[in-house]
């Protein structure tokens, strides 16, 4: 199946479109990425969306001046055709009440960062010592346990994030697939992290193509080596090569 109109493309950001950086604000967007995404979106008739743990506004800053359909904060907020829904910090008073304490719990740890996203909060320990990383993970796990039921903990690559329990990238993808121009198309999702495995499961269940970026065990059907390989593939598709994700290397 190579007809572009048959596919809806969903792309994670960190570790998929861009290489992971020591700090979230230090990622580098390759010069040709935004033009490639714009060309590919046009070829797909608009059915291209970013599905990420980042807030939509942060994605817009990295991919400026383009504006793409985006599911941010693992689907807590979603923008389709310019209209944004969900994601307000004011809707999460229980979480907000614990942000200051989370800062206190990790404040004495070197190279540990608390990223307040409004409707979710993440603790990063990529540059921390093993001992401080363990303490940082313990802190976010403790706060998440206090919020169990309404919120859940997502562990990724040197990060733990507390998100609303109903928010997953899989739910976000399905929400897009209920609306034009995504409806009736076969979903293709590219992601790299443990948090993307639920979305892979969703896409697999819906007859789509799940693509893991990088090494590691996965439920994804296909694999690409790294973000550079992702960008190269997207560039080929944008320039007119057949869109056939089923021929990629099995995972």
pLDDT tens digit sequence for 158-214: 999 998 888 889 999 999 999 999 999 999 999 999 889 999 999 999 999 999 999
- Select from 124, 145, 164 the last residue of a domain: 164
Q: Is residue 231 part of a domain?
A: yes
**Mean pLDDT computed over 13-42:** 95
**Residue 1 bridge partners (DSSP):** none
pLDDT classification of 1: cutoffs 50, 70, 90? low
49-70 pLDDT, tens digit per residue, is: 999 999 999 999 999 999 999 9
- Do 112 and 153 reside in the same domain of the chain? yes
Q: Is residue 128 part of a domain?
A: yes
Overall domain count for the chain: 2
- Do 9 and 59 reside in the same domain of the chain? yes
Q: Is residue 83 part of a domain?
A: no
Q: Active-site positions? A: 12
Measured distance CA(59)–CA(66) in Å, rounded = 10
**HEC-encoded secondary structure of the chain:** CCCHHHEEEEECCECCCECCCCCHHHCCCCCCHHHHHHHHHHHCCCCEEEECCCCHHHHHHHCCCCCCEEEEHHHCEEEECCEEECCCHHHCHHHHHHHHHHHHHHCCCCCCEEEECCCCEEEECCCCCHHHHHHHHHHHHHHHHHCECCEEEEEECCEEEEEECCCCHHHHHHHHHCCCCCCCCEEEEEECCHHHHHHHHHHHHCCCEEEEECCCCCCCCEEECCHHHHHHHHHHHHCCCCCCHHHCCEC
- Do 56 and 175 reside in the same domain of the chain? yes
- Do 49 and 172 reside in the same domain of the chain? yes
Q: Is residue 81 part of a domain?
A: no
- Do 96 and 154 reside in the same domain of the chain? yes
Q: Tell me the CATH number at 153.
A: 3.30.70
Give the structural domain span for 186: 4-76+167-247
Asked if the model's pLDDT at residue 103 lies above 60, the reply is yes
pLDDT of residue 178: 97
- Do 138 and 240 reside in the same domain of the chain? no
Q: What percent of the chain has pLDDT over 90?
A: 84
Q: Is residue 84 part of a domain?
A: no
CA contacts within 13 A on the Cβ side of 128? 24
- Do 68 and 175 reside in the same domain of the chain? yes
- Do 185 and 234 reside in the same domain of the chain? yes
**Mean pLDDT computed over 35-50:** 98
107-157 pLDDT, tens digit per residue, is: 999 999 999 988 899 999 999 999 999 999 999 999 999 999 899 998 988
Q: Tell me the CATH number at 11.
A: 3.40.50.1000
- For the chain, the C-alpha Rg in angstroms (whole number) is 18
pLDDT of residue 195: 85
- Select from 137, 164, 191 the last residue of a domain: 164
Extract the tokens encoding 210: 């799940």
- Do 55 and 105 reside in the same domain of the chain? no
Residue 77 CB neighbours (<10 A): 23
**Mean pLDDT computed over 29-47:** 98
- Do 172 and 64 reside in the same domain of the chain? yes
pTM of the model: 0.86
- Select from 164, 180, 207 the last residue of a domain: 164
Measured distance CA(185)–CA(47) in Å, rounded = 9
Tell me the pLDDT of the chain averaged across its residues. 94
- Do 108 and 143 reside in the same domain of the chain? yes
Q: Is residue 82 part of a domain?
A: no
- Do 116 and 8 reside in the same domain of the chain? no
Q: What percent of the chain has pLDDT over 70?
A: 100
Q: Is residue 18 part of a domain?
A: yes
pLDDT of residue 166: 81
């Amino acid at each position: 199946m190579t007809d572009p109109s048959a596919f809806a493309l969903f792309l994670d950001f960190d570790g998929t479109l861009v290489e992971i950086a020591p700090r979230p604000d230090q990622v580098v967007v390759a010069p040709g990425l935004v033009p490639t995404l714009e060309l590919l979106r046009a070829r797909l008739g608009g059915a291209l969306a970013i599905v990420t743990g980042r807030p939509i506004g942060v994605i817009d800053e990295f991919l400026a001046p383009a504006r793409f359909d985006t599911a941010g904060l693992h689907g807590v907020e979603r923008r389709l055709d310019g209209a944004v829904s969900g994601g307000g910090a004011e809707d999460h008073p229980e979480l907000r009440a614990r942000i200051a304490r989370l800062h206190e719990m990790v404040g004495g740890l070197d190279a540990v960062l608390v990223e307040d996203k409004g409707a979710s909060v993440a603790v990063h320990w990529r540059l921390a010592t093993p001992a401080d990383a363990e303490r940082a993970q313990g802190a976010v796990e403790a706060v998440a346990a206090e919020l169990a039921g309404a919120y859940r903990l997502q562990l990724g690559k040197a990060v733990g994030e507390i998100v609303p329990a109903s928010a997953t990238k899989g739910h976000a993808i399905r929400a897009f697939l209920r609306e034009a121009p995504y409806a009736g198309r076969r979903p293709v999702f590219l992601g790299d992290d443990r948090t993307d495995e639920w979305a892979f499961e969703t896409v697999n269940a819906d007859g789509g193509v799940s693509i893991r970026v990088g090494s590691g065990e996965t439920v994804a059907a296909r694999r690409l080596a790294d973000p550079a390989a992702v960008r190269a593939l997207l560039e080929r598709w944008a320039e007119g090569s057949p869109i056939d994700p089923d021929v990629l290397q099995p995972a």
